Structure 1
Amino acid sequence: MNNIKFTVKADVEEYEVELYGSFQTKGFSGKGSGYFGISQVIEFCQKAEKIAETMDEKAELAGLTRRSDGSIFLETFVIRVYPLSTSKLNGVVGIHITLGEYPSSDCREEEKLKVSGEIQTRNQHLLQFSKDIRALLSGSVKEVILDKGVDII
């Protein structure tokens, strides 16, 4: 059985939110977090809802750690959403999750911890996930869980 699960929690401040994620897929697991402006998260939710309705375009919410030269050192909390089919009624979407933890002692590449994987689910589940993330921002829910829909592949 493929147990795939993505859990999100939030620490909401006035204009900023730290999203905490944990991801389990096929025996692998990991966690990470990223800081975002609340408006960034709302914009991501709007794009995800549009994808669920139109089955077109892509959306990304990316929490990154950069090197001093501006290049990406580590993706700490990234959600990428994209359609896998064009059906608006029962469409399939891919939700690619990447979570990473910053090294504890220094910036060696070998010390990074990260997990990355895809959840394939129906567009209705993406729509609900987006609504749940908004509820997380408002404080009306404590966590959001997205798991692999049993009606998919």
Structure 2
Amino acid sequence: MKDDGLRLAFEPDDDGTGKLHASVRSQGFSGQGSAWFGTEQLERFASALAAFPLAEEARTGLAGGYWRNDRLEQIHLAISAYQVDAAGHIGVRVRVATTVSPSERPQSQHMTEVELQTTYHELECFSRELREHLAGEREDAFLRADAWT
């Protein structure tokens, strides 16, 4: 679908961190989520997305949410990218989820997890947009899905 993709918007704080907001849509599934990340971590991830072949940091990806004792206990936003085949098709796995407080049942968490199908070209454009967004040069960054299947 032509509107399928991932939109990211970063709200920086004064301490070198900020809240990354994500909205994703793929083949009728959609969701929104956000989590806190360091600005430098996001800049490294954006650069890793532009590498050919994809850098390890892109494949490992980002994951943020509630941490406890140096362990990510509740994921609210996760993004990773990986090569799918020898033709250069790329999968971008995106997971967004609501927060669940300790007094709520874990099963009450709402989540969407999708694979966006895209290409190195689209990923490179997204990487550039994300770096420009982090530098304050654009409103957000958008990765267009490219249905190559």
Shorter-chain TM-score bucket reads 0.7 to 0.9
Q: Corresponding residue for 2:108?
A: 111
1:93 aligned residue (63, 79, 90): 90
Which deviations, in whole Å up to 9, do the C-alpha atoms of 1:103-126 show, x marking residues without a partner?
A: 268342111111100011110111
Q: Corresponding residue for 2:65?
A: 64
Q: Corresponding residue for 2:36?
A: 35
Match runs of 1:44-63 below 5 Å? 44-50=45-51, 53-55=52-54, 57=56, 58-63=59-64
SS at match of 1:145: strand
Distance in structure 2 (CA, Å) of the matches to 1:129 and 1:2:
16
- Residues 73 and 111 (structure 1 numbering): CA distance in 2 closer, same or farther, change over 3 Å? farther
Q: Corresponding residue for 1:132?
A: 129
Identity percentage of aligned residues: 23
Q: Corresponding residue for 2:84?
A: 84
Q: Specify every segment of 5 or more residues in structure 1 that has no aligned partner in the other structure, as ranges.
A: none
Aligned pair count reads 146
Q: Corresponding residue for 2:75?
A: 75
Distance in structure 1 (CA, Å) of the matches to 2:10 and 2:55:
28
Q: Which amino acid aligns with 2:25?
A: Q
Distance in structure 2 (CA, Å) of the matches to 1:35 and 1:45:
16
**Taking structure 2 as the reference length, what is the TM-score of the superposition?**
0.85
Which deviations, in whole Å up to 9, do the C-alpha atoms of 1:12-62 show, x marking residues without a partner?
A: 234112110111223222111011111101111222112xx2256424011
**RMSD over aligned Cα atoms:** 2.2
Q: Corresponding residue for 2:117?
A: 120
SS at match of 1:93: strand
Distance in structure 2 (CA, Å) of the matches to 1:55 and 1:36:
21
Which deviations, in whole Å up to 9, do the C-alpha atoms of 1:54-80 show, x marking residues without a partner?
A: 2564240111323x4655432111111
Q: Which runs of 4+ in 1 moved over 3 A?
A: 68-73
- Residues 55 and 8 (structure 1 numbering): CA distance in 2 closer, same or farther, change over 3 Å? closer
Distance in structure 2 (CA, Å) of the matches to 1:118 and 1:107:
29
CA contact (8 A) 1:56 1:86 kept: no
